[in-house]
Structure 1
Amino acid sequence: MPTALITGASSGIGKAFADELAARQTNLVLLARSEEKLNQLAKQLQDQYKIKVDVIVKDLTEANAAAAVFDVIKTKGLTIDLLINNAGFGEYGDFAEGDGEKQVKIVQLNILALVDLTHKFLPLMRQRGAGGIINVSSITGFQPIPYLSVYAASKAFILSFSEALWAENFPYGVRVLVTCPGPIETNFFAEANFPTALARSTDKMYSAKKVVCETLQALENGLPTVITSDITTSLRSKLSRLIPRKILLSMLAKHFKT
C-alpha cells in the first residue's frame, strides 16, 4: 500500500487530499501545527478506511523543519511514494504598511519549506524510479496581485519551480505536478484578512474535493500543470500573460484595492 505525506493536512485542501487518498487505500503521514486536529483526522480515517496514519506536528517555518520531518520519516521506516506540498498562507494588504515578519513567514512556508522538503524526498524517488510530487500553487501564480504581493509571488515561484522539475524528473519515472486552484471553499479569505466585500465578489468557488480529484487525475495523466477552476477563471489566468503589464497591473490594483 503506497504512503503519502501531506503538509497542511489539518484543514482545507490538505484535509481533502487526506480524505480522498484514504478512500483510495493510501497510507498517510499528516503534517501540520495543530496536534488536536491531526489526531482527530487520523483516528477518523484509520477507523473508516483501515489504513495506517502517522501524525507529525511541526511548524514548517521553523529552522531545519524539513530536516526534522525527514528524520522522523526515516526513523519510522516509512517510504514516501507521494509528497503533497500543500502548506501555505497569504496576507491581504499594502506591503509597505503590513506586518513584515508575517510576509517573511509566507516566503518561509510557501517557498523555502516546499523546496527543502522536495529536495529531501525527490532523490529517493529517483533512486526507486517511481513516485510523485504535487505542489499546490494558485491561479494567482499567473500574474502579480497588488495587495497580495508576496503570496502571489510565492505561488508564481511554485508554478515555475514545479514545471521545471517535471521536465527534469519525468525521464526518471517520477511525476511532478503543480496544481493551480482558483477560489476554493476554504477559510483562506478569512485567514488572509480579505475585506468582506472583496471576498464576496470573488468568482465561483470550487469545492476542495473537486480540486483534489482533478489534481489526482492530472497526476495520473502525467501532466506538469493543472488549473482547477471554472472555465472563465482558467481562461482569464492564461490570457493575463498576453496583456501589456502596465494595463494588467492597473486593472488588478483597481480590483483588489478596497
Structure 2
Amino acid sequence: MKVTLITGASGGIGEALAYQLAEKKHNLLLVARNEEKLKQLCAELSLKNGITAQYIVADLSKPDAAKLVFEESNNRNFSVTLLVNNAGIGSSGEFSKNNLQLELDMLQLNNASLVALCHLFLPDMIKNKNGSIINVASLAAFFPSPYMAVYAASKVFVRSFTEALTQECKPYGIKVMLFNPGFTSTNFMNTTANDNAWGKVLTEGAYTQTSDQVATEMIQAWEKKKSFHVSGRMNAILIKIGGLIPNSLIAKLFADSKRKKMKL
C-alpha cells in the first residue's frame, strides 16, 4: 500500500498536515513518541476520511529509531511515496550553560534521523520511479541565531543537505522540497530546552502563523512541485532582505537585541 509518512505527527504542523492530507485521501503512516495521541488521531482520520491511517511510536532523538521506522514500514508492506521529515526540536539560552545531552539529542533528531530516513526510503523510491521528500527546515536556516546557536546550525544543515539532495534526485524523477516555516503556534517553545527567559525573548512580537496555515502552504508548494518554499509572505521578504546583510552583522544585531531585552 502506498502511504505518506509524517514524522512529528502528534501535534503542531505534523498533526495539521495529517488532517489536510487525509482529506485529500492520502493513506498515512504517522510517527511520533505519544502513542495515545497517535492512536486517537489515526482512528479519527480513518473514520472521517475513509483512508488507512496507522502509526509507529518512535523517538527519533535516539540513534536506532529511523531504522526501526523503516523496518516496521516494510513489515506492514507499505510503500512510502511521500516522506515528510517534519519532526524537530529547539533549544534556547547560552550554549555553554545549556544541557549538553539535550543539545546532542536535538542534533540526532533534527539532522541524523532526517538523513537516515532519507537514505533508507530513497532506494525504493528510485527503484519504483515514484516518490517525494519534504524536509522541514526553518527561517533559522538562513540566519545565525545567538542564544539558539545549535538549533539554528541544525537547520542550516537541513537546508544545505536538502538543496544538494534535490539535485541528486532529479535524474530519477524524485521530487525533493526544502520547506521553511517561521514562528508557528505550536508547543515548540514549551519544551524543557525552550521554555525559559531566552525563549520568550526570541518569540516576543514575532510574526506568527498557525499550524493549519503552514500545513496548507506546504501542501500547495508540494503540489506545485516546488523545490523550495518559505511559509508566510513576511518571512519570505525577511529572508530576501537578510540575504543582503553579512551573517556576522546579523548575528551581532540578534545578540545585542536579545541581551537588551534580557537587560544584560
TM-score of Structure 1 vs Structure 2, range by shorter chain: over 0.9
* 1:42-191 to 2 correspondences below 5 Å: 42-191=42-191
Q: CA RMSD in A?
A: 1.5
Q: Give the CA deviation at 1:242.
A: 2.3
Separation of aligned partners in 1, 2:2 and 2:72: 18
Sort the Cα spacing of 1:146 and 1:126 in 2 relative to 1 into closer, same or farther, 3 A.
same
Q: Does the CA-based 8 Å contact 2:63-2:108 persist in structure 1? A: no
Aligned to 1:16: 16
Separation of aligned partners in 2, 1:70 and 1:167: 24
Q: Give the CA deviation at 1:230.
A: 3.2
The reply on whether 1:229 has 2:232 as its aligned counterpart is yes
Q: Give the CA deviation at 1:66.
A: 1.2
Separation of aligned partners in 1, 2:205 and 2:159: 22
Separation of aligned partners in 2, 1:178 and 1:36: 30
For 1:19, give the aligned amino acid.
Y
Q: What's the TM-score, normalizing by structure 1?
A: 0.95
Q: Does the CA-based 8 Å contact 1:142-1:238 persist in structure 2? A: no
Segment drifting more, 237-246 vs 8-17: 237-246
Q: Give the CA deviation at 1:45.
A: 0.6
3-state DSSP class of the match of 1:177?
strand
Gaps of 5+ in 1: none
Separation of aligned partners in 2, 1:118 and 1:19: 23
3-state DSSP class of the match of 2:157?
helix
Aligned to 1:220: 223
For 1:166, give the aligned amino acid.
T
For 1:106, give the aligned amino acid.
M
Separation of aligned partners in 1, 2:233 and 2:177: 19
Q: Give the CA deviation at 1:249.
A: 1.3
3-state DSSP class of the match of 2:178?
strand
Gaps of 5+ in 2: none
For 2:255, which of 250, 253, 256 is the aligned residue? 253
The reply on whether 1:206 has 2:209 as its aligned counterpart is yes
3-state DSSP class of the match of 2:212?
helix
Sort the Cα spacing of 1:219 and 1:188 in 2 relative to 1 into closer, same or farther, 3 A.
same
Deviations 1:23-59 (A, max 9, x none): 1000001111110110011111111111111110011
Q: Does the CA-based 8 Å contact 1:82-1:132 persist in structure 2? A: yes
Sort the Cα spacing of 1:79 and 1:156 in 2 relative to 1 into closer, same or farther, 3 A.
same
Segment drifting more, 21-30 vs 207-216: 207-216
Separation of aligned partners in 2, 1:49 and 1:151: 36
How many residue pairs were aligned? Answer: 257
Deviations 1:115-156 (A, max 9, x none): 000000011111111111011100010011001011111111
Q: What's the TM-score, normalizing by structure 2?
A: 0.93
For 1:111, give the aligned amino acid.
N
For 2:257, give the aligned amino acid.
H
Q: Does the CA-based 8 Å contact 1:28-1:52 persist in structure 2? A: yes
3-state DSSP class of the match of 2:15?
helix
